[in-house]
């Protein structure tokens, strides 16, 4: 079966068929329902990398706000970078993970159940967002709070004003701060993770990644435009980039792969968020039991191992 931009439409039609079957009266629908679900699973088995990109961008996929509300308590947002402005593409603040005080930072592609992508620049941070993140990282270090980051961005903010303010420099600084930070850092890659915008918050002591999230140095469309002259070969580009959670877990770049339900995380967001939260708790408690000098040393060793992949 050819997978293209109608991928989501096919899944929606199958789910609607399941609902219609369940409403049939005086008919044993168990076997029919089982066959429809089996067909859905066959469609998603061996899913293409481009299809994973589509699922990573799905408008109903759980976003940073959903994780804040479900995983943490007493979240207190901290605004502003103390240099330029308050970038709506990056959100962060103090919170509690059970009884553990933590710092939570992430990309805001949209808020909650709203489709306010423009307000948040689709999660694309400007230098202000990176400086805000650095400010929060240093506060976490000062108060000895573990950091949990959530990555969900197509890339850094691409407009000229961001370049004028030193976009590349702010990304490099953010990575440098994390590399030297004397407190544990757990990363969760929950959706699209593109280019330097993702790298700014996408490095830490443990990396959790959803199965259909896509972490790469450039989007498939961008790669296709540069190599082939237009975006028509985006499927080939996605295969070349090999950026799905499955790919990066196999390569040892991420530590934990969160399996998604048939059809993507949006089909059972509670399960995905719960499994992600379970691994966050596991890694935070594990890292808190280690000496911070060992954590920083291991982090440096991880950077050295990743160099061949860059």
| Boundaries of every domain in the chain | 7-45, 51-309
Are 131 and 89 in contact, with CB atoms under 8 Å apart?
no
Helices then strands, each counted (H, E), the chain = 13, 8
* 234-246 confidence digits (pLDDT tens): 999 999 999 999 9
Please tell me the distance from the alpha carbon of residue 61 to that of residue 55, in angstroms, as a whole number. 8
Give the model's pLDDT for residue 113: 77
**CA Rg, the chain, in Å?**
20
Q: What are phi and psi of 163, to 5 degrees?
A: -65, -40
| pLDDT, one tens digit for every residue, the chain (310 residues) | 344 445 566 666 766 766 776 666 666 667 666 766 666 666 666 688 999 999 999 999 999 999 999 999 999 999 999 988 999 999 999 999 999 999 999 999 998 778 888 999 999 999 999 999 999 999 999 999 999 999 999 999 988 989 999 999 999 999 999 999 999 999 999 999 998 899 999 999 999 999 999 999 999 999 999 999 999 999 999 999 999 999 999 999 999 999 998 888 998 999 999 999 999 999 999 999 999 999 999 999 887 876 655 5
Picking from 99, 111, 103, the residue whose alpha carbon sits closest to that of residue 75 is 103
Q: How far is CA 221 from CA 7, 227, 232, 239, in A?
A: 17, 10, 8, 12
What's CA 125's distance to the chain center, in Å? 14
Q: Strand pairing of 100-107 and 147-153? A: parallel
192 sits in which H/E element: strand 185-194
Which of these, 149, 171, 175, lies nearest to 158 by C-alpha position? 171
Q: Is 41 in contact with 247 (CB distance < 8 Å)?
A: no
Q: Superfamily for 51-309?
A: 2-enoyl-CoA Hydratase; Chain A, domain 1 (3.90.226.10)
pTM of the shown model: 0.87
Please give the pLDDT value at position 36. 65
Please, is 154 exposed, middle or buried when counting C-beta atoms within 10 Å of its C-beta (0-12, 13-18, 19+)? Answer: buried
Helix (H, G, I), strand (E, B) or coil at 61: coil
DSSP string covering 250-279: HTTSSSEEEPPPTT-GGGSHHHHHHHHHHH
Please give the DSSP secondary-structure letter assigned to residue 307: G
Query: Residue 291: how many CA atoms within 13 Å on its side-chain side?
Result: 3
Burial (CB count within 10 angstroms: exposed 0-12, middle 13-18, buried 19+), residue 260: buried
Using DSSP, state whether 19 is helix, strand or coil: helix
């Amino acid at each position: 079966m050819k997978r293209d931009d109608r991928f989501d439409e096919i899944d929606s039609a199958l789910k609607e068929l399941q609902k219609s079957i369940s409403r049939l009266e005086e008919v044993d629908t168990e076997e029919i329902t089982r066959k429809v679900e089996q067909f859905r699973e066959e469609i998603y088995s061996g899913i293409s990398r481009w299809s994973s990109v589509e699922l990573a961008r799905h408008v109903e996929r759980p976003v940073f706000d959903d994780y804040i509300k479900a995983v943490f308590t007493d979240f207190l947002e901290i605004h502003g970078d103390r240099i330029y402005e308050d970038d709506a593409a990056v959100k962060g603040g103090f919170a509690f993970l059970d009884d553990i005080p933590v710092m939570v930072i992430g990309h805001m592609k949209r808020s909650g159940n709203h489709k306010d992508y423009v307000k948040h620049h689709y999660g694309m941070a400007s230098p202000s967002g990176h400086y805000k993140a650095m400010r929060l990282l240093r506060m976490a270090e000062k108060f000895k709070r573990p950091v949990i980051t959530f990555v969900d961005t197509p890339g850094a903010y691409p407009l000229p004003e961001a370049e004028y303010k030193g976009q590349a420099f702010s990304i490099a600084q953010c990575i440098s701060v994390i590399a030297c930070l004397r407190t544990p850092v757990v990363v969760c890659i929950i959706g699209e993770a593109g280019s330097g915008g993702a790298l700014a918050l996408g490095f830490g002591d443990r990396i959790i990644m959803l199965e259909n999230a896509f972490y790469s140095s450039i989007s498939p469309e961008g790669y296709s435009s540069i190599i082939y002259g237009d975006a028509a070969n985006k499927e080939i580009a996605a295969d070349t980039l090999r950026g799905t959670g499955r790919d990066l877990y196999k390569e040892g770049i991420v530590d934990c792969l969160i399996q998604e339900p048939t059809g993507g995380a949006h089909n059972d967001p509670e399960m995905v968020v719960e499994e992600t939260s379970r691994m966050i708790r596991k890694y935070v408690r594990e890292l808190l039991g280690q000496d911070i000098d060992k954590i920083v040393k291991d982090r440096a060793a991880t950077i050295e191992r990743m160099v061949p992949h860059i």
